[in-house]
Structure 1
Amino acid sequence: MIVTLLFAVLLPLGLYSFRRTLIETHELLDGRLAESARTLDVLMQHEGIDALRRPEQGPLIVPVIGRKAEEELMHGRTYESEVGYQVFDMHGHVRLTTANLAQLPLPQTPLSGFENYQFDGYGWRVFTFVDDANGFVIRMGERDDSRRGISHALWLDLGMPLLIGLPLLALLIGWAVRRGLRPLERLRQALASRAPGSRRRIELERAPQELQPVIEALNAQLERLEDALERERRFSADVAHELRTPLASTMIHLDGALSTSELPATKASLASAQVGLSRLARRIEQLLALARLEAGAAAGQRSEVDLVVVAMNVIDELAPLLGESGVEFAFVGHEDTLKVQGYEAALAALLRNLIENAMHHVPAGGSVQLLLKRATEAAVIEVIDNGPGIPAERRASVFARFHREASSSGDGYGLGLSIVQRAAQLHNAAIELLDAPSGRGLRVSVVIPTHFVRGASTESV
């Protein structure tokens, strides 16, 4: 396409340039003929026409070297035989002429100007100058083949760069384009060899400056794509993890309804199962909401959430499992209300997973405590247990997905603290794993920064 465009632009320009140059060259040659005639006219005035031979003596003929002799002398080039002149008086008597124009017929009525003649096998361009004051006429002539030689030279001078240069330019452009597109081929190979799920950035050595924005945009797009795929994978795992508790609670109530023949007990178990299923539906809605939050669909749509109310709902939901586990659970609230700007679904998932995680690491007869309080310009959530705890050197790794401590008594998937961490990130909260105040067990502290906190302190409960 580039070569075609070059031909489409340069060829018309070349032809136009040749045409203009040829016109100007012919005008220059015509001007030379006219100037030569006027110069000869001045010389004739100075010497006088009478200084030439009398008409009855015949014209004075200026010899011109023969063409063959001139070609031999000038190594193939002819100049002298291609130009000539003729001088005659008003009576039609030739007084002075070059040999090559001696037989050129005289015009019946001489007029100043240019004419074209066919004479002696050649075409001639003739300029006639009539000097009425001195009574003679001067004709200067130039052969057409001389002008054609100049035209051919112009063809070569102007045409050869196009005829030779354009094909050569086409080859060089093709080479340059192929060389310029090599980084794209390397980019294609890098993309083709990229392993699925890889987060390694694409880097090309000596990539041209024009390709750098493309590589940066492609790396950013691949990063976003991997983030989206990771969210999908985490969401699938979170669904399995989060739905396990309400399903287990419902199954307990259904088993209770099936194992008793007393109608009141059966109705109570079925009612509890119905409540569990309702909570299961609610949990699914919360998971979907959490997935949308993680994808950024609800960015900037935080609402006012009361942590005390959220905590009570989570405790009520976990009550059947708390009763079955044999773990002593206590909720300590230092505020009647503790409101923050955030996402209810994410905060509920944070509390629920902190409590469940503690339950799984506390043996029967142990204790789990949920504490909500307001600190200086912050809201604090703490879950404290008296289980075996987690050594300080392993605390950083427990937030990894699918990581499970050996002391865990449940059959979970190792996603609880990962969900807690993600929910905390949505609220710019900080998480710390500390030793329990009693010296045995673990204390998980989540601190929501001040710019999310809303409400005022009330008396402790």
Structure 2
Amino acid sequence: MKPASLHARLRWLIILVIAAVLLPLGMYSYHRTIREVDELSDGRLAQSARTLQVLVEHAGTNALRGHAAVGILVPIETSAVRSRDTRDHTFESEVGFQIFDRSGHTTLATANLASLPPPAADDAQFRDVRQDGYTWRVFTLQDPADSIVIRTGERYDSRHDITHAVWLEHSLPLLIILPLLALLVGWAIRHGLRPLESLTRALSTRKPGSHEPVLLPDAPLELQPVLTALNEQLVRLEDALERERRFSADVAHELRTPLASVMINLESAMATPDPAEVNATLSSAQHGVAALARRIEQLLALARLESGAASGQRTAVDLIAVALDVVEELAPVIADSGVELSVAPLASQLVIQGYEAAIAALLRNLLENALRHVPAGGQVQLSIEQGEHEALVDVVDDGPGIPAERRASVFARFHREAGSRGDGFGLGLSIVQRAAQLHGATIELLDSPYGRGLRVRVAIPLSS
């Protein structure tokens, strides 16, 4: 089933809402009008009876007594009365009256009600009776002073003519207006949805990789938050795609050389008959594969941080516990480096809100970077303190240090300082920087208190 368009959905919803309001309102108005017509017609019957009562009083009841035996019959015109306004309708036959004396004899009556029997003493003032195949609404007026009973009546089909007129008056406008209203609503919705059409055109003509925001002149207030969120999402998407492209290029660049070295060593081992040379080349190949594994691990760690894989729900992280775990993990590396690692007295606990994996990567790479640049016999110190609003992580070494004018460039990926020791790949401080960004932390490269070397300070907010 084809889904309905937003235009059609809005149009039918508006029409249904209008119909849901107008139809009950029309029914209520119709029934109220009918009730008012019935009350007005009943009042007219009562007024006619009292008018006859006054006329009889002025004429005197003696004028009617002489005809009590046979009664006076008022003729009724049954032929259609032609009138430009009444459209050939017989009115006289639809109303009538009766006057009875104290004995219940008819003294005066219209021809259409002459045969209707006199009312009983307990009859209500207003009643519905059947006469000559019609239902009549009659009003009975008892006059004890003159000992006469007056009864006036009106046929219900006369009232039905009014009912039909009222029904047409209430229904025809709805039947005419609703289709017209549907057309007007459709036009209004099309006009109101033009900004969405403009947005669709802007998105369909947007060039891939463009960082330009989507702009709609005179965008409605309701659409402006959508545009803002859409532009923010497009920026994040383009950044993610750019990171993926950059990561792919970096991986291809960084893995090409070690892979080529491993392949050369393996080919040499296969080509030489000397067992000693085979063992040497295989050892070199093994060393290259190990270096390649470490490089891939760092690249993946950097990719996870840059893609925001760690940016889910923050949790409480004990910075002290993570630091001790990292030092224990690096114990073999520390032993092989010949560098003395000292840990300043730490508090029992220092809790921050963050991502444990990212904090561990930050500490691990800070220590590895220091151990790689400090010569054997040097020293590295790790200290963690709680400031007023942040946790301060300091890694201090007495290595060659970095000149102040080059410190800003060391955070670039694959950047390596000249003369650095070890087989690093220039990714350590990039990982540190990304982990710090995830926590809103700041990184400073300062002079070492040892007189030479470097001091890296990371200030991590305690809460964010």
**TM-score with structure 1 length normalisation?**
0.64
CA distance in 1, matches of 2:408, 2:203: 34
1:236-275 maps to which residues of 2 (within 5 A)? Answer: 236-244=248-256, 246-247=258-259, 250=262, 263-275=275-287
Render the CA deviation track for 1:95-149: whole Å, top value 9, x for unaligned.
445xxx2464232443443324459xxx673515263845433221335564344
1:315 shift after superposition: 13
Considering only aligned residues, what root-mean-square deviation do their CA atoms show, in Å? 5.4
Q: Which residue of 2 aligns with 1:325?
A: none
Q: Which residue of 2 aligns with 1:282?
A: 294
Q: Which amino acid aligns with 1:114?
A: D
CA distance in 1, matches of 2:461, 2:111: 113
Q: Which residue of 2 aligns with 1:114?
A: 128
Q: Pick from 379, 403, 414: which aligns with 2:394?
A: 379
Q: Pick from 209, 226, 241: which aligns with 1:197?
A: 209
Q: Which amino acid aligns with 1:448?
A: V
1:3-152 maps to which residues of 2 (within 5 A)? Answer: 3-4=15-16, 6-7=18-19, 10-11=22-23, 13-15=25-27, 17-38=29-50, 40-41=52-53, 44=56, 48-52=60-64, 54-55=66-67, 71=83, 81=92, 83-89=95-101, 94-97=106-109, 101-102=110-111, 104-111=113-120, 112=123, 113-118=127-132, 125-129=136-140, 131=142, 133=144, 134-142=146-154, 146-152=158-164
Kept in 2, the 8 Å contact 1:430–1:447? The answer is: yes
Render the CA deviation track for 1:38-60: whole Å, top value 9, x for unaligned.
55446646875225462279767
Q: Pick from 201, 221, 238: which aligns with 1:226?
A: 238
Note closer, same or farther for the CA distance 1:31–1:75 as it changes in structure 2 (3 Å cut).
Answer: closer
Q: Which residue of 2 aligns with 1:363?
A: none
> Percentage identity across aligned positions?
44
CA distance in 2, matches of 1:68, 1:45: 34
User: Aligned pair count?
Assistant: 406
Note closer, same or farther for the CA distance 1:56–1:162 as it changes in structure 2 (3 Å cut).
Answer: closer
CA distance in 2, matches of 1:430, 1:150: 90
Q: Which residue of 2 aligns with 1:448?
A: 458
Q: Which residue of 2 aligns with 1:362?
A: none
Kept in 2, the 8 Å contact 1:421–1:431? The answer is: no
CA distance in 2, matches of 1:371, 1:339: 16
CA distance in 2, matches of 1:238, 1:343: 24
Note closer, same or farther for the CA distance 1:346–1:312 as it changes in structure 2 (3 Å cut).
Answer: farther
1:192 shift after superposition: 0.8
Note closer, same or farther for the CA distance 1:400–1:306 as it changes in structure 2 (3 Å cut).
Answer: closer
Q: Which residue of 2 aligns with 1:459?
A: none
CA distance in 1, matches of 2:334, 2:262: 16
CA distance in 2, matches of 1:245, 1:310: 27
1:267 shift after superposition: 1.7
CA distance in 1, matches of 2:454, 2:263: 30
SS of equivalent residue, structure 1 residue 425: helix
CA distance in 1, matches of 2:46, 2:245: 94
CA distance in 1, matches of 2:266, 2:230: 53
**TM-score with structure 2 length normalisation?**
0.63
Render the CA deviation track for 1:177-196: whole Å, top value 9, x for unaligned.
11222121112112111221
Q: Pick from 402, 423, 430: which aligns with 2:443?
A: 430
CA distance in 1, matches of 2:460, 2:153: 105
SS of equivalent residue, structure 1 residue 278: helix
Kept in 1, the 8 Å contact 2:365–2:431? The answer is: no
Consecutive unaligned residues of structure 1, counting only runs of 5 or more, are: 317-330, 359-366, 409-415, 435-442, 453-461
Consecutive unaligned residues of structure 2, counting only runs of 5 or more, are: 1-11, 347-355, 386-391, 419-424, 448-452
SS of equivalent residue, structure 2 residue 152: strand
Note closer, same or farther for the CA distance 1:55–1:91 as it changes in structure 2 (3 Å cut).
Answer: farther
SS of equivalent residue, structure 2 residue 188: helix
Q: Which residue of 2 aligns with 1:440?
A: none
Q: Which amino acid aligns with 2:45?
A: L
Kept in 1, the 8 Å contact 2:365–2:432? The answer is: yes
CA distance in 2, matches of 1:147, 1:10: 25
Note closer, same or farther for the CA distance 1:430–1:220 as it changes in structure 2 (3 Å cut).
Answer: same
